[in-house]
């Protein structure tokens, strides 16, 4: 038995060295460490000698799930190439959905690659998605995932991308901000190679394929639409001139896929991904913020949520709720008095106050006043509503404070009904509670999300058009069910927005003290998307 054991050991050593000699003769030595089931990660390495790298080599591993195209000139010295399929908990970017394994590769000889010549990697994904796919690498310097130029081969379930790093952790992600597979229709507009998109910013260039015949046309986005809420499967609408390049006009609607050629940044972001990459955690720079599940009251995210701050025009929702509790007749006619707006000028200069331009004696309805306050955030009409409420002004303001106290918004206090006074204060936490109570009123629900409201003064027949101060209503892909903006020098930019997802979950988000109007929109939208997902 002892001699048989020695012979078997000799054979094993001989086989090992023969394998080594054969591999070196071929110019490389390959060893795949996938047989050991006790380790958490699958790993692979290959030694590429100088002769091999000069000829070029394709490294393929894990059943062709990942391939490296190392053409002549990419590497200039021999090196070992390590590839690992990571099977550990990975902090994925919150904005994206990962649809592939996470891989890590490294050229062990750092001198072999000078970073000047990018190389292609092919990476398979294992989930079907109609959204834009892109490879991201993890950047430790910014603790974020950063995008790489990527082409999706949809029919083969892999992507190819360029990279110029000797070491990287990579994966394929989809971006729910950009639908790229679905339907397209046409419309008459500029008569050129243009299109309207609800996802890609104006100026972006896209290649649109008709999936029935594989014809394509390159278009520039010059318009917004169609509305994804009304057309959930519509990817893009093509100018008729572009549509007829890939299908007869009488086709009406066709199935398409879109390949972005160039995406224009918006507010230093590309498809909602900041320049420094996508992070696993939400970053809010406003002084205070909160997101609350409206049904359960659960706090989903918060930052300094109990800090007491000026709340500016967010005040108006409470004033309108108090007014509506008096059960007014909406078509009742009201005579406007310029004395109403004089209350506003106790707190700001006349030119600083958002107001509805009315003359003394103008006649309008209570509904017009309500919608002017909610859609246009007009300060003067709030005071008109107070006057016609049947309550004295002091009693009205007292009622506002009593209402929020009953709702347990204990950090909230009002000294006037519009929000022009910085002494009107609340916290993000309190205001989320207030929002839940205020939005039990269907008039507030309807008016606060109306993009535009028009009415005519009854005595002069003058047309007034008010546009909602919350631009998320026009541009966000979210189902916004309530909103109110606010601004004072002391409060900075404030915004409340409600949104509901397809499962019926409704979230209230409140931002207070943002440093710009745009940031209040961006961060509120991000907060809603983060918590709704």
Average confidence (pLDDT) over 247-273: 93
pLDDT band at 493 (very low <50, low <70, confident <90, very high): very high
Residue 364 clears pLDDT 90, i.e. is over it: yes
**SS3 of 196, please?**
strand
Average confidence (pLDDT) over 147-174: 96
Q: What are phi and psi of 308, to 5 degrees?
A: -90, 120
Residue 508 clears pLDDT 70, i.e. is over it: yes
pLDDT band at 14 (very low <50, low <70, confident <90, very high): very low
pLDDT (0 to 100) of residue 40: 75
Lowest mean pLDDT of 184-188, 224-228, 357-361, 492-496, name the range: 224-228
pLDDT (0 to 100) of residue 98: 96
Average confidence (pLDDT) over 348-357: 91
Residue 33 clears pLDDT 60, i.e. is over it: no
pLDDT band at 36 (very low <50, low <70, confident <90, very high): very low
Gap between the Cα atoms of 533 and 519, Å rounded: 21
Helices in 379-491 by DSSP H: which ranges? 379-387, 393-406, 428-438, 442-448, 472-475
pLDDT (0 to 100) of residue 23: 34
pLDDT (0 to 100) of residue 18: 34
The Cα-based distances of 511 to 74, 508, 532 in angstroms read 49, 10, 16
The backbone region for 203, taken as left when phi is positive above 0, alpha when psi lies in -120 to 50, beta otherwise, is left
pLDDT (0 to 100) of residue 90: 85
Lowest mean pLDDT of 33-47, 100-114, 518-532, name the range: 33-47
pLDDT (0 to 100) of residue 32: 36
The model's pLDDT over 261-290, given as tens digits with 9 standing for 90+, comes to: 999 998 788 998 988 899 999 999 999 999
Residue 450: Cβ within 10 Å count: 14
Instruction: Give the Cα-Cα-Cα angle 105, 106, 110 (nearest 5 degrees).
Output: 160
**Residue 413 and residue 405 in contact, taking contact as beta carbons nearer than 8 Å:** no
**Residue 427 and residue 288 in contact, taking contact as beta carbons nearer than 8 Å:** yes
**Residue 83 and residue 104 in contact, taking contact as beta carbons nearer than 8 Å:** yes
pLDDT (0 to 100) of residue 230: 86
Residue 34 clears pLDDT 60, i.e. is over it: no
Helices in 388-466 by DSSP H: which ranges? 393-406, 428-438, 442-448
The contacts of residue 26 (CB under 8 Å, 6+ apart) are none
Q: What are phi and psi of 41, to 5 degrees?
A: -105, 150
pLDDT (0 to 100) of residue 525: 95
- Range 22-58 burial, b when 16+ CB lie within 10 A, else e: eeeeebbbeeeeeeeeeeeebbbbbbbbeebbbeebe
Gap between the Cα atoms of 161 and 147, Å rounded: 10
Express as a percent the part of the chain with pLDDT over 70. 93
Helices in 40-197 by DSSP H: which ranges? 50-55
Higher pLDDT, residue 242 or 5: 242
Gap between the Cα atoms of 114 and 375, Å rounded: 58
The model's pLDDT over 188-231, given as tens digits with 9 standing for 90+, comes to: 988 999 999 999 999 999 999 999 999 999 999 999 989 888 89
Average confidence (pLDDT) over 314-337: 97
**SS3 of 122, please?**
strand
Question: Domains (ranges, CATH) in the chain?
Answer: 26-175 (2.60.220.30), 180-271 (2.40.40.10), 288-532 (3.40.710.10)
- Secondary structure letter of residue 304 according to DSSP: S
pLDDT (0 to 100) of residue 246: 98
Residue 26 clears pLDDT 60, i.e. is over it: no
Gap between the Cα atoms of 269 and 265, Å rounded: 5
**SS3 of 433, please?**
helix
Gap between the Cα atoms of 291 and 530, Å rounded: 9
Q: Shortest CA distance to 196 belongs to which of 215, 175, 220, 180?
A: 220
Lowest mean pLDDT of 126-140, 213-227, 262-276, 485-499, name the range: 262-276
Residue 414, judged by CB atoms within 10 A of its CB (0-12, 13-18, 19+), counts as buried
- Range 343-355 burial, b when 16+ CB lie within 10 A, else e: bbeebbeeeebbb
Cis peptide before 226 (omega within 30 of 0): yes
Residue 258 clears pLDDT 90, i.e. is over it: yes
E runs forming strands in 49-157: 57-61, 66-70, 79-86, 97-98, 102-107, 119-124, 131-139, 144-147, 150-153
**SS3 of 452, please?**
strand
Average confidence (pLDDT) over 129-142: 95
- Secondary structure letter of residue 353 according to DSSP: S
The Cα-based distances of 485 to 302, 480, 521 in angstroms read 19, 14, 9
Gap between the Cα atoms of 272 and 149, Å rounded: 16
Lowest mean pLDDT of 12-26, 125-139, 207-221, 289-303, name the range: 12-26
The model's pLDDT over 388-411, given as tens digits with 9 standing for 90+, comes to: 999 999 999 999 999 999 999 999
């Amino acid at each position: 038995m002892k001699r048989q054991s020695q012979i078997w050991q000799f054979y094993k050593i001989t086989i090992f060295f023969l394998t080594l000699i054969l591999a070196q003769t071929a110019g490389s030595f390959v060893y795949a460490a996938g047989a050991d089931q006790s380790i958490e990660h699958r790993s692979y390495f290959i030694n590429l000698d100088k002769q091999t790298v000069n000829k070029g080599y394709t490294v393929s591993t894990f059943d062709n799930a990942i391939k490296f195209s190392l053409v002549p000139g990419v590497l200039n010295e021999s090196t070992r190439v390590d590839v690992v399929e990571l099977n550990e908990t990975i902090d994925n970017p919150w904005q994206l959905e990962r649809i592939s394994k996470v891989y890590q590769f490294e050229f062990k000889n750092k001198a072999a690659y000078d970073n000047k010549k990018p190389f292609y990697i092919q990476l398979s994904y294992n989930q079907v998605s109609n959204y834009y796919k892109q490879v991201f690498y993890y950047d430790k310097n910014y603790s974020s995932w950063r995008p790489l130029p990527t082409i999706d081969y949809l029919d083969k379930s892999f992507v190819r991308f360029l990279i110029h790093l000797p070491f990287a952790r990579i994966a394929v992600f989809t971006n729910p901000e950009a639908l790229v597979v679905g339907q397209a229709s046409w419309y008459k507009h500029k008569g050129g190679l243009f299109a309207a998109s609800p996802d890609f910013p104006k100026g972006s260039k896209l290649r649109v394929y008709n999936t029935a015949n594989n014809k394509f046309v390159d278009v520039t986005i010059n318009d917004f639409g169609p509305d994804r809420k009304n057309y959930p499967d519509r990817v893009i609408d093509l100018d008729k001139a572009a549509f007829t390049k890939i299908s007869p006009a009488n086709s009406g609607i066709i199935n398409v896929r879109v390949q972005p050629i160039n995406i224009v940044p918006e507010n230093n972001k590309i498809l909602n991904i900041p320049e420094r990459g996508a992070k696993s955690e939400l970053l809010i720079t406003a002084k205070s913020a909160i997101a609350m599940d409206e049904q359960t009251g659960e706090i989903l995210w918060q930052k300094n949520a109990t800090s007491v701050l000026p709340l500016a025009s967010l005040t108006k929702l409470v004033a309108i709720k108090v007014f509506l509790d008096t059960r007014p007749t909406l078509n009742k006619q009201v005579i406007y008095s310029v004395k109403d707006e004089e209350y506003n000028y106790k707190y700001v200069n006349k030119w600083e106050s958002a107001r509805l331009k009315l003359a003394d004696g103008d006649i309008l309805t209570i509904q017009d006043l309500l919608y002017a306050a909610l859609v246009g955030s007009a300060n003067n009409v709030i005071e008109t509503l107070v006057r016609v409420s049947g309550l004295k002004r002091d009693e009205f303001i007292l009622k506002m404070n009593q209402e929020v106290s009953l709702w347990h918004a204990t950090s909230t206090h009002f000294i006037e009904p519009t929000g022009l006074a910085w002494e009107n204060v609340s916290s993000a936490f309190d205001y989320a509670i207030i929002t839940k109570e205020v939005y039990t009123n269907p008039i507030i629900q309807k008016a606060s999300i109306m993009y535009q409201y028009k009415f005519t003064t009854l005595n002069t027949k003058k047309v007034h058009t008010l546009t909602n101060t919350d631009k998320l209503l026009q541009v966000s892909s979210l189902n916004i069910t309530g909103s109110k903006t606010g601004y004072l020098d002391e409060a900075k930019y404030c915004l409340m927005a409600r949104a509901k997802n397809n499962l019926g979950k409704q979230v209230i988000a409140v931002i207070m003290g943002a440093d710009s109007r745009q940031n209040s929109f961006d961060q509120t939208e991000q907060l809603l998307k983060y918590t709704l997902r």
